[in-house]
Amino acid sequence: MYQHGIKNTLKGGAVVFGASAIFLLAAPEVFLDLLGLEDSAELIWAMRMIGITLIALAGNMWQNAKSTNAGVIRFVGRVMFISALSLGVLTIFIPAELTVFSITYAAIGLSFALLYLINLIRK
């Protein structure tokens, strides 16, 4: 396992999730539009709730990247691999016509999944 690579991936993911959180909190309607989804009061509220959750996730990812415990890094790397892969796949199956933004967002998630996987299996 390549701990340094997982730590850097965690930090990069924390920055991406942090930026997404700010976007979701500040302009959920724009985010929904970019995904090709119609907005509603309920969906805007849900996007803001996701934004708040992403703040917590980003903070935890950044903090876990500081760990010196190989077991912790490995565990977090596995969790984030599954999460990033799931996010990428879920975005591809969005219940709307795919947009450039949704394809890019899916590609980012899948890229992070690949980075976690590479670093988890690297010696």
Distance between alpha carbon 96 and the CA centroid of its chain, in Å? 20
- More confident call, 107 vs 1: 107
Structural domain range at position 57: 3-121
Total domains, the chain: 1
Mean pLDDT of 9-20: 97
- Residue 34 banded pLDDT, cuts 50, 70, 90: very high
Q: Which of 20, 9, 15 is nearest to 119 (CA)?
A: 9
pTM above 0.85, yes or no: yes
Kindly state the DSSP code that residue 95 receives in the 8-state scheme.
Answer: S
Closest CA to 110 of 90, 79, 88: 88
Written as six digits, the tokens of 54 are 């992403």
Residues 82 and 97: their CA atoms lie apart, in Å, by: 25
